[in-house]
Amino acid sequence: MKLTGAEILCESLTKLGVKHIFGYPGGAILPVYDALGKSKLHHVLVRHEQGATHMADGYARASGEVGCAMATSGPGATNMVTGIATAMLDSSPVVCITGQVSSKVLGSDAFQEIDITGITMPITKHNVVVTRAEDIARTVREAFLIAASGRPGPVLVDITKDAQQASCEFDWDASAPKLPPKRQRINYDQAEFDRAVELLNSAKRPLILAGHGIIVSGAMKAFEQFVRAGNYPVAMTLLGIGCFPAKDPLNLGMMGMHGEAWVNNAIQESDLLIAVGMRFDDRVTGDLRTYAKSARKIHIEIDRAEINKNVQVDAALVGDAREVLEKLTPHIETRDHGVWLRHIQESKGDSAVRDIQSLPDNGHLYAAHVINDIWKETRGEAIVVTDVGQHQMWEAQYYHHNLPRTLITSGGLGTMGFALPAAIGVKFAKPDAEVWVVVGDGGFQMTMSELATIVQEKINIKIAIINNGFLGMVRQWQEFFYDKRYVATPLVAPDFAALANAFGIRGERISTRNEVIPAIRAARQSNETVLFDFRVEQEDSVYPMVAAGASLHDMIRRPDSPLVETATEP
Amino acid sequence: MQTLVAYVENKPGVLNRVSSLARRLAINIDSLTVGPTENEEIARMTIVAHTDEKGAHRLEASLEKLVDVLLAENISNRSILERDLALIKVLADQKNRPHLMELIKVFRARVVDVAPESLILEVSGTVDKIDGLLEVLRPFGVLEMARTGRIAMTRGGDLLRPPVVNEPEVSANPETRTGTTVAN
């Protein structure tokens, strides 16, 4: 069967199980769009290509399958860069397809020509230029394979316009991936495994550091069995949230810069850290010189390059989290950590009284209240997509996730503007799920044009803007470390409710505590998108906080004087 | 200084990926040589990097994550043979030429080009040997020098051969996939 390169691309994507493509057309990708129109693939027209990549990323994170974004050459492709880097840093399987100028003019600075494979080389798992129709099917299959296998990541396929237009024989079976042969490494030897088992069975104060790798590996069940077998307390990274139910007494909550105090203290006091699918990012370790000095470390990680990168470990088990955990669990003999668990519980009590939830409810609106109310009203069952900043940390602290893939957030790159477009992708991955966007007034203004995409696609998501009139996290740093010199952080915003209305979306401003729950309830009744502009306390800060480069136990705690005394009227 | 050997796909852009990776990891490359192998589809690289053992591990593991890299191995702690080749153009007038010829003999260099006022020497060996020759040639006047950078090979039965067999295709769905090591 003879098809054009563009038709082959659409056929291949269909055969690979793609249902939705998030993209934006343009000259160099037009043949593909023409073929898209004749295919069964659903194309979501975005308002900016960054949005397309975040949507594909959100789709991938919510479904566990490869997300697909598309753009034209030149500016279309360069607009994808932030989204690609976001996917790279969080190991999200995304395939980006870009149009490229005709191979005959490649290298001539033709209109909208840019070397996008050169630009994205350090932020993709792999990328490739295709100049012949004959190579499209195989290359796209390879791209999906690379994106999803091992430690997932983004792959970019740049297809020249003449390759899209040329016709050739389409033979799916003959176009199977032909990746270069790889040396198969022995991930760990028996001695390494035995050392890990020995450490597990001799620890008095063990603690698991649970990361994103557990979710990516689909290791939730194996992980739970491992936790139960050893009766281990579990601390989560931001991206690990959801890999183990928040309601489980062994789940301590989030670690790191804005982790719970009892979690960070437990890490510092532990005598064995069992790191699973996490990479000892600087945001979770603080100062490495003082990090968990009394603890031995076991590292279970699929990416060999992560071993001993930041923290020197005593046993490294390289491999898929599920496989390694399934092997380890039968060897666990010690599970009596009662003294240790009670000790953690006691320090938890101390931290909990400083919790904002314990502050008197006097009508003032705090971000933590809003997020906690959303959690209660959705019974913790919604998929929450956050942006980056204070609201993101409050979400991690006050929305308690019991299921994997229900917190979608940009961790590694910390990309503001991620939430709204990512949530659109999430909704396409999980059309029946209740999807909430929790976003700051700063990040929302970065990609709010995607409201039009929501309207055009007639999808139903709930948007909670945590509006404090500041770039809040930066303001917090200025407050703590720059003597309250608020340079470039006070932020003028449009009337978000009116803005939503202009897009044809119901918008509402909420300024007091008692309006919150009724508003959330009404929104949940609606089968259309609703946007809330929550006017929260302007100068609230996220506590506890480990200053960048400080020791993990050296936390800035919420001042004892109740915050409400200094609050301004909303 | 750490020495790594890598087998890579012999196609355009691979050198760029390798050097770009070293740059991203903030590892300074002292010397990088690429050449074809007995299999024309595969090239062999010797990378000498200014880093410690930890950095070399990271470079090695990160290199192997590149799709086009078949194998990367830090051979610094193994018994290896290292060679560097240099062409050195040195001032040689009638007066100092005999003295120069003696030095050349001692270092087992070869004269490969003779001109009235200069000679080109070819010398191969370890970096130390070439540096040593260079040191003694300097007073004569070194006009130009070209060096290949190091190539290295493990000695004897310690073989480092490119892999030939690949893993089967895995499902695009991570929940159902089985093989996971195709492209870490």
Contacts of A179 in chain B (CB under 8 A): 67, 166, 182-183
Tens of pLDDT, residue by residue over A321-368, are: 999 999 999 999 988 999 999 999 988 876 655 566 666 667 779 998
pLDDT in tens, A190-247: 999 999 999 999 999 999 999 999 999 999 999 999 999 999 999 999 999 999 999 9
Q: What is the pLDDT of residue A281?
A: 95
Q: How far apart are CA B179 and CA A183, in angstroms?
A: 14
A205 with A235: CB under 8 angstroms? no
C-alpha separations of A365 from A172, A357, A403, A530 in Å: 58, 12, 28, 19
In percent, the amount of chain A with pLDDT more than 90 equals 90
pLDDT in tens, A262-271: 999 999 999 9
Q: Any chain B CB within 8 A of the CB of A522? A: no
Pick among B44, B169, B170, B178 to test the A interface (most A CBs inside 10 A): B169
The whole-number pLDDT of residue A523 equals: 98
Q: Measured between alpha carbons, how far is A200 from A230 in angstroms, rounded to an integer?
A: 8
**Residue A187 banded pLDDT, cuts 50, 70, 90:** confident
Fold agreement (A2-175, A190-349):
yes
| A111 is a catalytic site residue | yes
**What gap in Å lies between CA A72 and CA A69, rounded to an integer?**
11
What was the pLDDT predicted at A352?
A: 59
Residue A119 touches partner B, C-beta closer than 8 Å:
no
Residue type (1 letter), A231:
N
Query: How far does A307 lie from chain B, in Å, by closest CA?
Result: 8
- ipTM confidence: 0.90
Yes or no: domain A357-542 corresponds to CATH 3.20.20.370: no
Angle between helix A367-377 and A513-525 (nearest 10)? 40
> Chain B partners of A308 at a C-beta cutoff of 8 Å?
54, 57
Domain boundaries, chain A: 2-175, 190-349, 357-542
**Site of tokens 């929104």:** A523
CA distance, residue B182 to nearest chain A CA (Å):
7
Q: What is the mean pLDDT of chain A?
A: 94
Helix (H) or strand (E) segment spanning residue B105: helix B97-106
Dihedral pair phi/psi, residue B3, rounded to 5°: -110, 125
Share of chain A above pLDDT 70, in %: 96
pLDDT, tens only, A76-98: 999 999 999 999 999 999 999 99
Sheet containing strand B2-9, edge to edge, reads B28-36, B42-50, B2-9, B69-74
pLDDT for A184: 81
In A, which residues are within 8 Å of B162 by CB distance? 181
The architecture in CATH of the region A2-175 reads 3-Layer(aba) Sandwich (3.40)
Of the residues A254, A473, A545, A555, which is catalytic?
A: A473
Q: What is the DSSP letter of B182?
A: S
A565 pLDDT more than 50: no
What's this model's pTM, rounded to 2 decimal places?
A: 0.93
Decide if pLDDT at A404 tops 90.
yes
Assess whether A456 carries a catalytic annotation. Answer: no
User: Do the chains contact at B183 and A184, CB–CB below 8 Å?
Assistant: no
Structural domain A190-349, CATH architecture:
3-Layer(aba) Sandwich (3.40)
pLDDT, tens only, A105-153: 999 999 999 999 999 999 999 999 999 999 999 999 999 999 999 999 9
Tell me how far apart the alpha carbons of residues A101 and A458 are, in angstroms, rounded to a whole number. Answer: 34
Question: Is A161 an annotated catalytic residue?
Answer: yes
Q: What is the pLDDT along chain B (184 residues), one digit of tens a residue?
A: 999 999 999 998 999 999 999 999 999 999 999 999 999 999 999 999 999 999 999 999 999 999 999 999 999 999 999 999 999 999 998 888 999 999 999 999 999 999 999 999 999 999 999 999 999 999 999 999 999 999 999 999 999 998 886 544 444 443 333 333 333 3
The neighbouring-strand residues paired with A127 are A156
Minimum-distance CB partner of B174 among A182, A218, A303: A218
C-alpha distance from B36 to closest chain A C-alpha (Å): 16
- Set out the domains of chain B in order of their start, with CATH numbers: 2-78 (3.30.70.260), 81-152 (3.30.70.1150)
Task: Identify the residue whose tokens are 């579990």.
Answer: A234
pLDDT at A434: 98
Q: Tell me the C-alpha distance between A538 and A569, whole Å.
A: 10
Nearest residue, CB atoms, A149 vs list B58, B164, B170 = B170
CB contact under 8 A, B174 and A182: no
Least CB-CB distance to A183: which of B71, B169, B175? B71
Which of A125, A161, A427, A462 is catalytic? The answer is A161
Q: What is the pLDDT of residues A442-476, one digit of tens each?
A: 999 999 999 999 999 999 999 999 999 999 999 99
Residue among A7, A11, A22, A49 flagged as catalytic: A49
Q: Are the CB atoms for A135 and A108 separated by under 8 Å?
A: no
Q: pLDDT band at residue A433, thresholds of 50, 70 and 90?
A: very high
CA distance A409 to B14: 33
A positions 213-272 inside 8 Å of B (CB): 216-218
Beta bridge partners of A438: A386, A464
Which residue has 């093989």 as its token pair? B179
Distance from CA of A338 to the nearest CA of B (A): 35
Model confidence at A561: pLDDT above 90: no
Residues A148 and A68: beta-carbon distance below 8 Å: no
A80: number of Cβ within 10 Å: 33
